[in-house]
Amino acid sequence: MSGNSIIRIGTRGSPLALAQAHETRSRLMEAHGLDEKQFEIVVINTTGDRILNQPLAEIGGKGLFTFEIEEALQNGSIDLAVHSMKDMPALLPDGLAIAAILEREDPRDAFVSVNYKSLQDMPQGGLLGSSSVRRNAQALRIRPDLKSVQFRGNVQTRMRKLAEGVAEATFLAVAGLNRLGMAHHISSIMDMDEMLPAVAQGAIGIEVKQNNTRAQDLVQAIHHNTSGIAIECERAFLARLDGSCRTPIAGHARIEGGKLFFKGQILALDGTTSSEVSKEGALEDAAKIGVEAAVAAADKQLLRA
């Protein structure tokens, strides 16, 4: 690692990002018998965290949450980076790799509201706060009468906006609320048949330089294999579709009875049309299943257009 053997973990500065960095540090300490003093949490302010008044799709997409952190990895000022995998662009910069995936949390979306128990309970023309084109499209598919308002910021910011009445309801990842000890704010959990999650939602990934073998060996000890296989499939689906923040794309892989089952979805921005696809196969074919699902979903979408 660095010359003084301190392991520097790069992360965004939001409470959730810090919780994920601390979880990673705890797992590394336990796996290798290390002391907390042997780690440094390095907070990196990203463009995505600074610009909160514009939709991500308009200002550059998911990469705005990772660019500065990956730059720090490239120049050696951090040894490893902790990311929410759903925020990771489909393609990584040259020389960088995801070396470990932690055990996945609940991948589903939570409906959160001060006044309403579910999406169906919202009044005609109600205000839904969302910065996600996927969640927006999926919600409009169920409730086309609802109005959408831009809702950027970390979990705490969105909860404050909700309390201030900027919107009557929003969606947040169940995983994030669980990690922050805020699950009591969940009004209801969305069924995956209604709201298929974002690719890699609920998963924490650890990124390193490909030529940093010590960092790779260090984090490999905390890699969760079945979570990694599921994420590999989902990200292959996203990469094949050239997925960005401008296109509503969802995908989820699960492992059952030694087989992998994948479900993917592409939606129109207003939710009026969608293309769903399901594939299954052997665990070692995870990436192939994701690619095949993407090809099938894209073909269906073109037929619908």
Which residues are part of the catalytic machinery? 87
**Residue 270 backbone zone (phi > 0: left; psi -120 to 50: alpha; other: beta):** alpha
3-state secondary structure of 154: coil
Phi, psi of 282 (to 5 degrees): -75, 150
Are the CB atoms for 236 and 286 separated by under 8 Å? yes
Q: Is 171 helix (H, G, I), strand (E, B) or coil?
A: strand
Which residues lie closer than 8 Å to 222 by C-beta, 6 or more apart?
24, 27, 28, 31, 100, 102, 206
With beta carbons less than 8 A apart as the criterion, state whether 201 and 134 touch: no
Do the beta carbons of residue 260 and residue 230 sit within 8 Å?
Answer: yes
CA neighbor of 293 nearest in space, from 231, 230, 232, 234: 234
